[in-house]
């Protein structure tokens, strides 16, 4: 499934992933930006129309929940980024990340370990 989120949609999804099922007012309160209740509701309804969010009725309110896993959205976004900006090359993306970031020795060690384990298993 190709998951495509705007910045605002990603912010709302992050709230649902971190805090679980929430009513509109809870999502609104947890967002970094101050958005109107109706704006948050519109975003949630758009996400629901896309199939990324569902809801359960709770009295007169709706409690919204993430219908897609955060890992699936991350994978989709990374694939999109790789296709669009790095000519589909994971190696170019990796090279850019490593050369442009200030990585700690521990981060480098973990990356080397991950690459070695993929190589040992014959994964590409």
pLDDT digits (tens, 9 = 90+) for 54-75: 999 999 999 999 999 999 999 9
Look at residue 117 and tell me if it is in a domain.
Answer: yes
**Same domain flag for 55 and 21:** yes
Q: What is the domain extent for residue 119?
A: 89-124
Phi, psi of 26 (to 5 degrees): -70, -45
Q: Which residues pair with 64 in a beta bridge?
A: 22, 55
Look at residue 99 and tell me if it is in a domain.
Answer: yes
d(C-alpha 55, C-alpha 21), whole Å:
8
Phi, psi of 64 (to 5 degrees): -90, 145
Res. 123: pLDDT tops 80: no
Read off the CATH number of the domain in which 36 is found. Answer: 1.10.10.10
Q: Which residues pair with 58 in a beta bridge?
A: 61
**Same domain flag for 59 and 12:** yes
**Same domain flag for 51 and 96:** no
Look at residue 22 and tell me if it is in a domain.
Answer: yes
Look at residue 75 and tell me if it is in a domain.
Answer: no
Average pLDDT of the residues in 87-95: 91
> Looking at the 3D structure of the chain, how many domains does it have?
2
Look at residue 73 and tell me if it is in a domain.
Answer: no
Look at residue 79 and tell me if it is in a domain.
Answer: no
Res. 124: pLDDT tops 60: no
pLDDT at res. 119? 81
Look at residue 15 and tell me if it is in a domain.
Answer: yes
∠ at Cα 120 (103, 122), nearest 5°? 110
**Same domain flag for 15 and 61:** yes
């Amino acid at each position: 499934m190709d998951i495509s989120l705007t910045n605002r949609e990603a912010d709302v999804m992050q709230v649902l992933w971190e805090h679980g099922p929430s009513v509109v007012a809870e999502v609104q309160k947890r967002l970094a930006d101050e958005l109107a209740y109706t704006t948050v509701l519109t975003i949630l309804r758009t996400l629901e129309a896309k199939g990324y969010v569902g809801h359960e009725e709770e009295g007169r309110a709706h409690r919204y929940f993430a219908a897609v896993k955060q890992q699936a959205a991350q994978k989709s976004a990374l694939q999109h980024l790789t296709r669009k900006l790095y000519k589909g090359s994971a190696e170019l993306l990796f090279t850019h990340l490593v050369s442009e970031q200030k990585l700690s020795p521990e981060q480098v060690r973990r990356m080397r370990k991950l690459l070695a384990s993929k190589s040992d298993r014959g994964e590409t």
